[in-house]
Amino acid sequence: MTAQEIVSQLTLEEKASLCSGKDFWTLKSVEPLGLSSIMVTDGPHGLRKQEGSSDQLGINRSVPATCFPAASGSVCSFSRELLYQIGQAMGEECLQEQVSVILGPGVNIKRSPLCGRNFEYFSEDPYITGELAAALIQGVQSTGVGTSLKHYAVNNQEKSRFTCNSVVDERALREIYLTGFEIAVKKAQPWTIMCSYNQVNGLYASEHKKLLTDILRDEWGFTGLVMTDWGAVNERVEGIKAGLDLEMPGSGGFNDAKIVEAVKNGSLDEGILDKTALRLVELILNAQQNRKAGYRYDKAAHHELARKAARESAVLLKNNGDLLPIKQGQGIAVIGAFAKIPRYQGAGSSKINPTQLDSAVDALKAEGVSFEYAPGYTLTPDSAPDPKLIEEACAAAKGKDHAIIFAGLPDEYESEGFDRTTLAMPESHNQLIQAVAKVNPNTSVVLHLGAPVLIPWAQEVKAVLVMYLGGQAAGSAAADLLLGKTSPSGKLAETWPLALEDTPCHRCYPGTARSAEYRESIFVGYRYYDHGNKPVAYPFGYGLSYTQFEYGAMEVSDASFKAGDTLEVSFSIKNTGKVGGAEIAQVYVSPKNTAIFRGVKELKGFERVFLQSGETKTLNITLNTHAFAYYNVPKAGWAVESGEYEILVGASSRDIRLRGTVQVIGDGCEQLLRHQRKTSPEYFDLQVKELAVGDSSFEALYGRKLPPAQRDPQGRVDLNSTLEEVRDRGEAGKKLSALVSRQMAAAFGNAETNDLRLMMERMINEMPLRSLMMMSGGTITPGILDSLVAVLNGQPCTDPALSKLLDV
């Protein structure tokens, strides 16, 4: 039967039942009509499938799988081909484990380097985000396994992510925060999209019709299914109306019953439910048709792909005097606990149980390299500098030809569930590096981390190699690069600032418990830094190599351009060095004399090319209308501004090698925005030291009154009140807090590692009361929740079940 025929035979109750999960990871079945249960499970840089039965928090040990570099690393390859290959491999592992949909990739923009989950996301730039996400999706889905593009939308922090209202102007929403999703949807059509927890301009993403239907389906042509992040449902029936298809995990039938009742009382058109059921049936049928019983993937081949990915994603920030690669016969000191126990992935729902794990120490030994090792620091959380360990490291480094230090951010510094509060590395790492550099002028540093950090010792060492979170083969990949078996070729997909205060959203990140105001608007990352030529540690697109490249012979196909045209940009690159290597050429579009506020340049094309020593190749980049467009809010659509534009070809956003010009014939809609120079002047002058947008300016840009930043502490409690907010609401609040603490302590006994425990401890108090049903494993029912809210609002307890639970 076709999906439509199956839906026509489903009862109302069966249709509603399909709209929520069977348990934490699987969908419900309708066996008489041929619909079996299918599994969805975590990604996004490898498979995280729980062993055995699932727990109510999804944190139990997972089956072995290949841990590829996290997105913050793999994006630095600027390689669509590599991301496609990683996607294929992930899909093959899903086939073996009978997983139908892997939850990823994540394409949220890196608004601030402090976001604790930035390691899961690609970039501060929406274009490369969308391009590489599309490649990964295409790779996974080529195997007959689906993906879930997430977290839709404007989820750029972990702080208060369950209830926070992301307050963002329409232009920034379209140009920065939705463009990555748009590119991925239009190019790759993911099977599913996952909505985020947060509100977007006052509406929860799970019931935001403008996002889920008007933009996603009607504008972009998305044909798949929309699911929730786990526990993200607010009002289930409103979600159905808005375009939310699948609730994960299920609510024990509670929300299914709400859907049935809504259809029966006429508040929900059954035709809308039919469309939802059709998308669910189509997903299940697609998954069933692509199952491969007995399929086995090649673990060794996948590990080698992970090693290749880590090599191609590593970024060489500094290499004074060509200290790297290691020269044959040198006396070497290898220092740092990360050299033996690498930091290779982030913490949270993406944490993978790797099929194997390479260390740099073992990899160097395998290559016959002799060296003296010293740990330099411990891996205990928040460990202070250990003078004895630093002294031992200095003794090992002194007199050696080359000292190589492995350092970075420990697991506890960046995770799902909480944000960083500083850009600093641990002092135990910083002091170690500074001490070793004093006794050995030939010091290199290898960094394992998921996001930019401050490196106060940058001028004291000769070389810095960033591995990001390079996956299970990060150690062997680092050895390959240090030994010169491969030349580093990655480029930064995010700016490394000189100070936290330099970041454009510094004054308003992460906001309050109830509101995150995106006052910087479109000026995210290099769009902000490059506009005022602000000093940075390392710019977007930056990365060195063991060889050198020469750009030339630039040609632009036409001297003029109008909407609907395409523009061909061609140029040559020659490897003028002594070894082979890959270069990543970047094409930026720069409007001149613009009447509106815009970035001085925006990435609109890129290409990775490998060249042998002395080899030259010609690259061709095609620019379309979107490369010149901006979102015009009064027009409610994309517009093109008339004028002269520069086409810039560079090795980074600040290393422009070639320039061309084109005259663009626009639509004149920029005249609709002339008032903004008066109403929001801060966006036209970014030469100031710090971006500080006033209330009136942001409100004018936002186009409506700004919502309250705080919840009234004396206001009524509801299901979206957080545990933190109700903790002091009488005896019931205190006892509820104690109950949750006990249940979490019991659950943590099964957590894989301390960082998962820390993640849950950090985010538990920010969860809304409605999350208690999912977290309690059925102990807290909808009826108990309603009674709890009444008691927290000062009413007497009349529910025996609640009295027993809280002893009130």
Residue with tokens 């790297």: 324
Which two structure tokens, joined as six digits, stand for 173? 């929403």
Q: How far apart are CA 479 and CA 545, in angstroms?
A: 16
Residue with tokens 């620091």: 377
**Radius of gyration for the chain, computed over Cα atoms and rounded to the nearest angstrom:** 27
Cα Dmax for the chain = 83
Q: How far apart are CA 280 and CA 221, in angstroms?
A: 17
Q: How far apart are CA 777 and CA 784, in angstroms?
A: 13
101-103 and 146-152: which strand pairing? Answer: parallel
Q: How far apart are CA 46 and CA 67, in angstroms?
A: 5
Catalytic residue flag (residue 229): yes
Which two structure tokens, joined as six digits, stand for 1? 């039967």
* N-to-C CA span, the chain: 55
Instruction: Examine residue 249 and say whether the peptide bond preceding it is cis (omega within 30 degrees of 0).
Output: yes
Q: How far apart are CA 610 and CA 258, in angstroms?
A: 58
Q: Tell me, what amino acid is at 329? A: G
Catalytic residue, chosen from 169, 229, 358, 419, is: 229
Q: How far apart are CA 639 and CA 432, in angstroms?
A: 53
Question: How does DSSP classify residue 35?
Answer: B
Bridge partners of 592, per DSSP, are none
Could you list the beta-strand ranges (E) of 95-214.
101-103, 146-152, 165-167, 192-195, 199-200, 203-204
Q: How far apart are CA 806 and CA 788, in angstroms?
A: 10
**Per-residue DSSP letters for 198-247?**
SEETTEEGGG-HIIIIIIIIIIT---SEEEESTT--SSHHHHHHHT--BB
Q: Tell me, what amino acid is at 483? A: L
Question: How does DSSP classify residue 176?
Answer: I
Bridge partners of 735, per DSSP, are none
**Per-residue DSSP letters for 518-560?**
-TTTT--THHHHTTTT---SB-TT--B-SS-EEEEEEEES-SE
Bridge partners of 646, per DSSP, are 590, 661
Task: Go through the chain and tell me how many residues it has.
Answer: 808
Other Cβ atoms within 10 Å of 695 Cβ, number: 10
Which two structure tokens, joined as six digits, stand for 265? 């009382």
Q: Is 41 helix (H, G, I), strand (E, B) or coil?
A: strand
Per-residue HEC secondary structure of 730-770 comes to HHHHHHHHHHHHHHHHHHHCCCCCHHHHHHHHHHHHHCEHH
Give the Å distances, CA to CA, from 670 to 500, 606, 640, 674, 723: 34, 28, 8, 7, 47
Helix axes 730-748, 782-792, angle to 10 degrees: 140
Are the CB atoms for 569 and 554 separated by under 8 Å?
yes
Which amino acids are annotated catalytic?
229
